[in-house]
Structure 1
Amino acid sequence: MPTGDDDLSTNYSGAFDGHLAFGNKPALLIVDFVMAYLDQGSPLYAGAEKALASNERLLAAARASGIPVIFTNVVYQPGGADGGLFYKKIPALRVFDSGSPLGEFPPSLAPKQGETIISKQFASAFFGTALCAELRAKDIDTLLITGMSTSGCVRATALDALQNGFAPFVVRDGCGDRHPAPHEANLFDLRSKYAEVISEVDALRFMNQSANGI
């Protein structure tokens, strides 16, 4: 049995070495990048300013390249009646009660008219939403995934993307968490088992290649 002293990469080598190919029809999926993670008075504040700047650049590139952009947010009925056990487990989710300013998109990352917004109540953007049907209708085969938080909704969404047949490419620079330890641990595990984890530079290159039919 492996011990705690084993090098993690060496331990995983040979068992989790596969890779996913970038497809022909990508979309940029920005998961829950809302004010709750940017406002220092929020219980969910995650110091996500650098990730916000990355998302701004990725969003501009996607729009310029004609790549579909999908935003998600979390919205609950006041009191969380539609949030089930998730709402009970995490009291801080009350910041997403309908009408809360913490549930709003930051001005620099606001959807434009015609861009899709998927409102959800649970971690995965696929659970209980029309996301899968919309992606299939647009022939999307690859998702560039960013957002908040890495260990929560980003992870759950990437896993469900894989399970629904969409290649998930998680953009490291565009994700954030309230502490670097779960951020890095979940990126490592996603890269090993469920997704590709790429840099913003690689994401921009993929979008440019896709837009130019390369």
Structure 2
Amino acid sequence: MSDDLAAGYRASGFGRGLGCGRSPAVLAVDVVRAYLVDGSPLRAPVEDAVAAAAALVGAGRTAGLPVLFTRVAYRPGGADGGLFRLKIPALRVFEEGSPLGDFAEGAAPRPGETVVTKQYASAFHGTSLAATLTASGIDTVLICGLTTSGCIRATATDALQHGFRPLVVDEACGDRDRRLHEANLLDLGAKYADVLSLDEALSTVRGFSPGRGEGH
């Protein structure tokens, strides 16, 4: 079915590639313990995705690219989560002080790296992310993290709408079910983003390493 859908999209004029721009950054979205700890209402089979995200983050650092992170945090009671908190009561795990909101081991920011705190799915909604990217001259974001059907999809869509090239890294994103992951990547690739394999993303990042010139 995925092949049929992809072919149908292409036949209708969807899915043109955007490519990488001149100044990319790695954006790790919500790679946090809430998705990894047994007993968490958000627990999902995402260990492989987290490992791949950590590899992408590491490659970005080695290449000297900006690496940015997002996390979700709510004040006690969650009033700043609005209807999103009402819709998904499990988001209570992100109230300030909960260890489930901490970054996953191996995919945590280093001192000096940008951390964007958000309350909704998109890393752009109500945050300073677009201004930060613009001020840094960044035109492309290699997006990894959790979850594909939620915060990854919303972030990639908003990246495009803010004028940034979104490159979503397949194996470095994860979800509660493989079918959700694949369906959302198919649709993102058709309408809002380029979907790259981890190998393609690592090759792109390494092309910007010092001494290698720009990765085009």
TM-score interval (norm. to shorter) = over 0.9
- Moved beyond 4 Å, runs of 4+: none
What do residues 63-107 of structure 1 show as CA deviations (whole Å, max 9, x unaligned)? Answer: 111100000000001111100000000000000000100000022
User: 1:101-116 maps to which residues of 2 (within 5 A)?
Assistant: 101-116=99-114
Instruction: After TM superposition, give the deviation of residue 206 of structure 1 in Å.
Output: 0.5
Aligned to 2:189: 191
Q: Structure 1: how far apart are the matches of 2:91 and 2:122?
A: 15
User: Of the candidates 4, 7, 20, which is equivalent to residue 4 of structure 2?
Assistant: 7
Give the AA of the match of 1:158.
A
Q: Structure 2: how far apart are the matches of 1:10 and 1:155?
A: 21
Aligned to 2:158: 160
Give the AA of the match of 2:100.
L
Contact 1:24 1:210 in 2 (8 A): no
Aligned to 1:132: 130
Q: Structure 2: how far apart are the matches of 1:13 and 1:24?
A: 27
User: 1:12-27 maps to which residues of 2 (within 5 A)?
Assistant: 12-14=9-11, 15-27=13-25
Aligned to 2:93: 95
- The two structures have a TM-score, normalised by structure 2, of 0.94
Give the AA of the match of 1:134.
T
Give the AA of the match of 2:78.
G
Q: Structure 2: how far apart are the matches of 1:11 and 1:185?
A: 14
Give the AA of the match of 1:84.
G
Q: Structure 2: how far apart are the matches of 1:87 and 1:67?
A: 34
Aligned to 1:70: 68
Unaligned runs of 5+ in 1: none
User: Of the candidates 64, 82, 85, which is equivalent to residue 84 of structure 1?
Assistant: 82
Unaligned runs of 5+ in 2: none
Counterpart secondary structure, 1:77: coil
Counterpart secondary structure, 2:143: strand
Give the AA of the match of 1:107.
E
Q: Structure 1: how far apart are the matches of 2:107 and 2:4?
A: 39
Identical aligned residues as a percent: 55
Aligned to 1:213: 213
Instruction: After TM superposition, give the deviation of residue 59 of structure 1 in Å.
Output: 1.3
Instruction: After TM superposition, give the deviation of residue 166 of structure 1 in Å.
Output: 0.3
Contact 2:156 2:168 in 1 (8 A): yes
What do residues 95-130 of structure 1 show as CA deviations (whole Å, max 9, x unaligned)? Answer: 000010000002211111000000000000000000
Instruction: After TM superposition, give the deviation of residue 165 of structure 1 in Å.
Output: 0.5
Q: Structure 1: how far apart are the matches of 2:15 and 2:106?
A: 37
Contact 1:36 1:95 in 2 (8 A): yes
Across the aligned residues of Structure 1 and Structure 2, the Cα RMSD in angstroms comes to 1.2
Give the AA of the match of 2:7.
T
Counterpart secondary structure, 2:157: helix
- The two structures have a TM-score, normalised by structure 1, of 0.95
Instruction: After TM superposition, give the deviation of residue 17 of structure 1 in Å.
Output: 3.4
